């Protein structure tokens, strides 16, 4: 899906976006290991060093992809809550799980051990927003005082299930059955 360069032009015009798309492709296709600055450059049709004008390092590229992932996750969670207001929590849980299964390499990049989010503020921010979507729903459903604790427990439960599914230790069905 990565848009190749407009042929014959010295300047690409939209390299950053193209590189991100290429990186996403590589990620989905071959896992994190397959995401390479040089290969992304190749896919984009530029020289091996062009990416450095947009990302200071390979990690930065990965972080940008992960940040996009968190934005997508947040949208998914918001949509799930909006679509099923009476059972928003389990709806979000299901959405979370489906996201993990549907974009396994991306999920593993977002939550795996490759990136140190502390080193990438944008990443941390995007992640924070996604989690806020979860917490907000729990806040509306929990009994007053226990909100903070229950929110955390719900979050951890869903998150744990998602990891177990993404690591193929349990099936999606088992996870969904354990939600509520």
Partner DNA sequence: AAGCGCATGTTGACACAGCCAACATATGAG
Partner DNA sequence: CTCATATGTTGGCTGTGTCAACATGCGCTT
Question: Which has the closest alpha carbon to 66: 14, 119, 15, 13?
Answer: 119
Indicate which single residue of 36, 76, 92, 117 sits in contact with DNA (rule: CB under 7 A): 36
Distance between CA atoms of 3 and 19, rounded to whole angstroms? 9
Binding to its own copies by residue 111, rule CB under 8 A? Answer: yes
For the chain, give the longest Cα–Cα distance.
Answer: 64
Binding to DNA by residue 7, rule CB under 7 A? Answer: no
Indicate the burial class of 163 (C-beta count within 10 angstroms; 0-12, 13-18, 19 or more): middle
76 contacts 35 by C-beta, under 8 angstroms: no
From the CB of 107, what's the least distance to DNA, in Å?
A: 21
Nearer CB in complex with DNA: 49/171: 49
Answer with the entry of DNA, its own copies, none that 11 interacts with (C-beta below 5 to 8 A by kind): DNA
Binding to DNA by residue 49, rule CB under 7 A? Answer: yes
Indicate which single residue of 117, 123, 133, 137 sits in contact with its own copies (rule: CB under 8 A): 117
From the CB of 131, what's the least distance to DNA, in Å?
A: 28
Where helices occur in the chain by DSSP H, the ranges are: 15-30, 37-44, 58-83, 88-102, 104-111, 121-141, 147-166, 172-177
Pick out residues in 48-77 that bind its own copies (CB under 8 A): none
Q: Give the tokens for residue 2.
A: 């990565």
Indicate which single residue of 29, 47, 171, 174 sits in contact with DNA (rule: CB under 7 A): 47
* Chain residues in the site for DNA (CB under 7 A): 9-13, 15, 36-39, 41, 46-50, 52-54, 56-59
């Amino acid at each position: 899906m990565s848009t190749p360069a407009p042929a014959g032009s010295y300047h690409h015009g939209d390299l950053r976006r193209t590189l991100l798309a290429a990186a996403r492709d590589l990620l989905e296709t071959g896992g994190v290991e397959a995401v390479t600055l040089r290969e992304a450059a190749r896919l984009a049709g530029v020289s091996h060093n062009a990416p450095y004008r947009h990302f200071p390092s390979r990690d930065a590229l990965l972080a940008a992809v992960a940040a996009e992932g968190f934005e997508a996750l947040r949208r998914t969670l918001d949509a799930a809550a909006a679509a099923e207001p009476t059972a928003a929590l389990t709806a979000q849980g299901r959405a979370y799980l489906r996201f993990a299964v549907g974009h396994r390499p991306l999920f593993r990049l977002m939550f795996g051990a490759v990136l140190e989010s502390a080193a990438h503020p944008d990443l941390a921010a995007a992640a924070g927003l996604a989690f806020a979507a979860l917490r907000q729903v729990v806040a509306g459903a929990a009994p007053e005082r226990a909100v903070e604790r229950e929110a955390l427990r719900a979050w951890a439960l869903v998150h744990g299930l998602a990891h177990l599914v993404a690591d193929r230790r349990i099936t999606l069905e088992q996870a969904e059955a354990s939600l509520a």
